[in-house]
Amino acid sequence: MLLSKEIAVNLNLSACKMKQYTSSMLRKNKVGLTPEQLLLVDLLWNQGPMSQQKMADTMQKDKNSITKLVDALMEKGLVVRMQNQNDKRSNILHLTEKGEQMKEEAKEAGIHLLDKMLEGIDEEELKNFLKTLSKMTDNMSVK
């Protein structure tokens, strides 16, 4: 198999495995969120309120996918939509008090999950991997 094809196949398989593993660990730790829901909530924890469009762009998902994620998080009482006062056509996503309160528990589970995933890989290997991954991502950017 060509090296480039092998890399593409392994990246795809790793992404699928990571999603399955993350789902499993989130369930095991009783976090009650899917990996995508956790990512959305984590972005709000770290960056604060943001428009649904900015969330879609940041997560590289279409508007319909973000709407479904937000609807599910609203049902759980973790996120609310508020009309953007500067642009009445858009919504700003905010965490609820319940969403803020689960931050430490969920982040602890996430850190444990990542530690387990990266077990046995030294810092130099991780730095090289991140550098390579960044270059690949840059190569895929539309110019």
Architecture of domain 33-107: Orthogonal Bundle (1.10)
Q: Pick the closest to residue 11 from 117, 136, 106 (CA basis).
A: 136
Report how far residue 37's alpha carbon sits from residue 77's, in angstroms, rounded to the nearest whole number: 12
- pLDDT per residue, tens digit, the chain (143 aa), is 699 899 999 999 999 999 999 999 889 888 889 999 999 999 999 999 999 999 999 999 999 999 999 999 999 999 999 987 877 778 899 999 999 999 888 888 888 888 999 999 999 999 999 999 999 988 988 76
Q: Which residue has the tokens 């077990």?
A: 119
126 Cβ partners below 8 Å, 6+ apart?
Answer: 118
